[in-house]
Amino acid sequence: MLTDFFRLDGKTALVTGAGKGIGARIATAYAEMGADLILLARTETDLEAVANEVRALGQQARIFSCDITDETAMAATFETLHNEFSQLDVVVNNAGAPGKGFGSLAKVNKKRFEHTLDINLSAAYGLIHEALPLLQAAPNAAIINISSAMSWMVDRHMAAYAAAKAGLDQMTRVLAYELAPKIRVNGIAPGAIETPATAFITQDPGRLEETVRWIPQGRLGQPTDIALAALYLASSASGFMSGKILEVDGGMAALPGSAIQSQIPQTKP
């Protein structure tokens, strides 16, 4: 049956930023479709909660509480993974944040700019580098990089984050070419998604109304919307897709450029 193409039975997937929001939902979606999970995030209690959901779905879960920008911690994590696992079928680079780079050009210096690049771009590259031998050991592996609508949108105070996510998109395309045909590399660019990180929108009726105004679908996205795209890209259903960025943004990318505004509040940094 066609639905069998979306199954992940017997596969092992690693998800960063897996403690809450989009990362947590991707993890549980993969578990629902038969995958075992390796979960990375900074907060152990969050990871344990998601791991319990995975186990309740009948799948195995291994957690690592670590900062993906900490090279020593990541090296130790992958040393353990190389000892415990023979292969990795899916890697999802989901962890990311505006970090210290949110602010005007006058306020954000080079160090703060590089902090945001490290979180959203350099750390993703480093994780793929560490995971490569395990990915190469899998018959048909997939890498999924979670980007952002800010990779193509324009907004004040977001130069560092936008540059990092645009770089992630291009890195996705280049690695898709470099790692073909055995490893597919794709990305997802979410729009405004309802997660703990966007509580400042959902808890302010005026800001929520203004945000939704620029989304043709008339609502914020849900983590499940992104998880379903990530399921497609991880499964054999997307076996002929590589080097692509899926824009899951409720239609924002279809708006005329002059009409587009982001969900980021116009506050002084």
Enzyme catalytic residues = 161
Distance CA 153, CA 147 (A): 12
Distance CA 49, CA 69 (A): 23
Task: Say how many C-beta atoms besides its own lie within 10 A of residue 20's C-beta.
Answer: 18
Closest of 77, 80, 58, 56 to residue 68, by C-alpha: 77
Provide the pairing of β-strand 90-93 with 12-16. parallel
Distance CA 230, CA 223 (A): 11
Three-state DSSP at 1 gives: coil
Task: Say how many C-beta atoms besides its own lie within 10 A of residue 80's C-beta.
Answer: 12
